[in-house]
Amino acid sequence: MIGAIESPEVRLLNLKGRNFVDLMDFEISELRHFLETGHDLKQKQKRGEPHELLKGKSMAMIFMKSSTRTRVSFEVGMTQLGGHALFLQPSGTQLGRGETIADTAQVLGRYCDVIMARVFGHEEVTELAKFAGVPVVNGLSDLLHPCQIMADMMTIEEHKGKLEGLKIAYVGDSNNVSNSIMQGCTIMGMDVTIGSPKGYTPSDDILKKTSALSKTHGTTLTVVNDPSEAVKGVDVIYTDTFFSMGQERLKEKEDALMQFQVNDTLVGKAKSDVIVMHCLPAHRDEELTSKVMDGPHSVVFDQAENRLHAQKGILALIV
Ligand code: CP
Ligand code: NVA
């Protein structure tokens, strides 16, 4: 796996200039190329080998919402690649005074080589991509979180040695993270089960598109309303917050989702070597117990670390 960045078949893939907004825009071979590049750059960094592939390049980072991992991993990643990243928020820019996304995109595209954006509505990031003239990376929208899932798939490969044929269950609120899991894991040949309470399952639109994808890839995509049924015999359990950024905290939703908490009992229903994942930040003892998060099955901090390496792989190939 490591070193495949130089292999003949991946050398033929040219991803330069592509946007990284939605995993559905990519073929399996393209996602594989991003993953291999991430693994390869991780090894290079661990060995202390220089890998300044983006020397002299600049990345604008627009944050409409808060962030710890995405902000720091992209900024540090760009530095390690020899480039520079600018942290931009509405309050310190003219976005806060109402300058449109289309105008902002056209200006930033003339200074910078790539734009990363964390937005509310998904259309904000597609609008940026339409007008920027440089590659745009989705650092989370209300619909999708593709960079997270690339780091997660790197993490699964590190712990399980493969992706194809594995079973992953996402339990909890259906959201941007679960949507990107359905897409990314399906493309890479995993069987995906979503376990969510009624009323909090994936939207018909995303389900329709991803079900069609799973048929093409010969995998299964299942939605159940019972957490125990969802995790039965799986290799990976994944969960996320009950309330994503921008969502109102509702008691009724909290009560429904507490039944889907990832705790020792639920973990005991999966394979004995199951890994437990969370994109973080976690709300300890809500969507997962502290005991599970700090326990032997948890790989949550490996996932956080791999944000750095996976995103360096993405930037190195598209910029
Ligand atoms: N997982 C993730 O995107 O974390 P941040 O919100 O801290 O960036
Ligand atoms: N679903 C969460 C992910 C945070 C990284 C949110 O959108 O807030």
Burial of 234 (0-12, 13-18, 19+ CB in 10 A): buried
pLDDT of residue 2: 41
Q: Is the pLDDT of residue 276 over 70?
A: yes
* pLDDT confidence tier of residue 8, bands split at 50, 70 and 90: very low
Residue 3 gets the label, from left (phi > 0), alpha (psi -120 to 50) or beta, of left
Closest residue (by CA) to atom 6 of ligand 1? 67
Amino acid at 107: V
Closest listed ligand to the CA of 72 = 1
| Tokens at 1, concatenated | 């796996």
Note the pTM of the prediction, 2 decimals.
0.96
Q: How far is CA 62 from CA 83, 125, 177, 300, in A?
A: 17, 10, 19, 25
* pLDDT confidence tier of residue 13, bands split at 50, 70 and 90: confident
268 in the same domain as 213: yes
Domain around 165: 147-304
Q: What is the pLDDT of residues 54-65, one digit of tens each?
A: 999 999 999 999
Give domain status of residue 1, yes or no: no
Catalytic residue status for 307: yes
Q: Please tell me which residue in 240, 261, 278, 309 is annotated as part of the active site.
A: 240
CA contacts within 13 A on the Cβ side of 6: 4
Catalytic residue status for 33: no
314 close to 78: Cβ distance less than 8 angstroms: no
Q: How many domains does the chain have?
A: 2
Give domain status of residue 42, yes or no: no
pLDDT of residue 248: 97
Neighbours of 246 (CB within 10 A): 10
151 in the same domain as 300: yes
Q: What is the pLDDT of residues 160-186, one digit of tens each?
A: 999 999 999 999 999 999 999 999 999
**90: cis peptide before it, omega within 30°?**
no
pLDDT (mean) for 237-249: 98
pLDDT of residue 12: 60
Catalytic residue status for 148: yes
pLDDT of residue 271: 98
pLDDT (mean) for 34-62: 98
Closest residue (by CA) to atom 2 of ligand 2? 244
